[in-house]
Amino acid sequence: AFWGATGFYMVDAAERAVVLRFGRYTATTEQGLHWHWPWPIERVAKVNVAKYDVIDDKTRMLTADENLVDITIAVQFIRADALKFLFNVRDPEGTLRDVSESAIREAIGQSTLEFVLGAGRQDITERTKALIQKVLNGYETGIQVISVNLTGVNVPDQVAPSQKDAIKAREDRDRFSQEAQAYTNDVVPKARGTAA
């Protein structure tokens, strides 16, 4: 009776319990009180399928215009499928970390530094999220990516002065171009008037 009583287990609303008989999958149970054959016949592995978790990663990479950039990325995810999460991949969270780094490298590697530092962050995060989810679905990890955030995008300290000089030169070029256009817009109508 005592041995049989050890087979009762409780599953919370946010959890799914995977029942294994001699190590082989038999059922997935949801919320409530359940019973299984006690150890060593069956065991229960619980997975929280509603908890939002985050993995962070910081890496240095090259942009499409061959500039170094330090990227800090945060990937928020849930374990959507308990069975796949437990059995299809040996280390699902490690796999998510590796896939995330690979996906952000691809997105950053196809973008210029100006795009990464400026208006392109939203586009990069959307492309990265889609690529991560596509790979995870192919691996059948049971993980669903909720969001991808670029929490830090910086040029390395060693190249920051050169980067600032390049940005200043670009701004000076744009300013001189605008001044030349303003001068043209002032002089040309006067010359036409004089000629007429």
Q: What is the pTM of this model?
A: 0.66
Tens of pLDDT, residues 117-129? 777 778 888 888 8
Residue 9, beta-bridge partner list: 34
Tokens of 163: 């980067």
Tens of pLDDT, residues 172-181? 788 888 888 8
Secondary structure of 74-101 in HEC code, one letter for each residue: EEEEEECCHHHHHHCCCCHHHHHHHHHH
- Tell me how far apart the alpha carbons of residues 163 and 112 are, in angstroms, rounded to a whole number: 13
Tens of pLDDT, residues 45-56? 777 777 888 888
Residue-level pLDDT at 139? 84
Output Rg (C-alpha) for the chain, integer angstroms.
Answer: 28
Identify residue 147 by its one-letter amino acid code: S
